[in-house]
Amino acid sequence: MRVVVVSDAHLVGLDDPNQALLVRWLDALLTVGLDELILLGDIFHHWWGFSGVVMTDYVPICAALLRVKAAGVTIRFVPGNHDFHVGDYFSKTLEAEVTGPVRLTLSGRSFFLAHGDEADTSWRYTLTRTILRGALFAGIMRLLGPVLGGAFLQKLAGSSRDHMGDQQRLLERQREWATPHLQAGAEFVVMGHVHWPGVVAMPEGTVVHLGDWVSHHTFLLIESGEVSLRGLVELQKPLGEPVRPAPRA
């Protein structure tokens, strides 16, 4: 069984070279064989799932995901803080499993998967998260519709795709947040959001920080019971090379 987990591409539009690269990588993955693709949030820098609508900015990646589905690959989407309202394109058109943080057994190993922003319990972030995921904001988006709503989301998301804030504090908070899930039996807790790739051995198990597809182009490969963080080197080798970033306290 071969499973790939990727997050934080923060795709921004048709001219985004990252979108073209991600599309080519997904197509290349199909040539080497893939059983399951797990998207761990913030694949899109801004997305709102209007029924029956695919945002123009993301037609290439959506077409690539349709090819993944057509190849018989299982798609799972764990939304992030930029694409939490994915709508029915993923659940109906792609027939993807759309879920919040989730415990899974993959290739005989136990995982807990989350985007990772849940670990940020600062009052400012908690308030923003609550407002954006509330009924009032959803009503505003329905009134604006796909065109104005997309422009509004783009403005809210901002121009920077690099994760802002105290990265070190968030890494530490993610590891604290992961601990009870490891204690509950998960061998690995896998998270994105912070945009730093690394594998950290904890007393209770292993925390995987996925990194991103903005600058690091990293992903998790789960195959035949082996788990490794990989970095894309060239498309001729779509499964990449092992990533061993410098240790971080």
Distance CA 191, CA 196 (A): 10
pLDDT at 249: 42
The predicted structure's pLDDT at residue 160: 67
The 10 Å Cβ neighbour count of residue 219 is 28
Three-class SS state of 206: strand
* 43 and 72 Cβ atoms separated by less than 8 Å: no
Query: At residue 38, what is the residue type?
Result: I
Instruction: Give 10-residue mean pLDDT values along the chain (249 residues).
Output: 96 92 96 96 92 86 97 96 90 93 96 96 90 93 91 85 72 95 97 94 95 94 95 91 66
pLDDT at 213: 94
Residue 53's pLDDT is 81
CATH assignment of 2-242, among 3.60.21.10, 3.40.50.150, 3.40.50.2000, 3.40.50.80 = 3.60.21.10
CA 75 to chain centre: 12
Per DSSP (E only), the strands in the chain are 2-6, 36-39, 74-77, 97-98, 102-106, 109-114, 188-191, 197-201, 206-210, 218-223, 226-231, 241-242
H runs (alpha helix) in 17-107: 17-32, 59-70, 88
Q: Residue 164: what pLDDT?
A: 54
**For the chain, domain boundaries:** 2-242
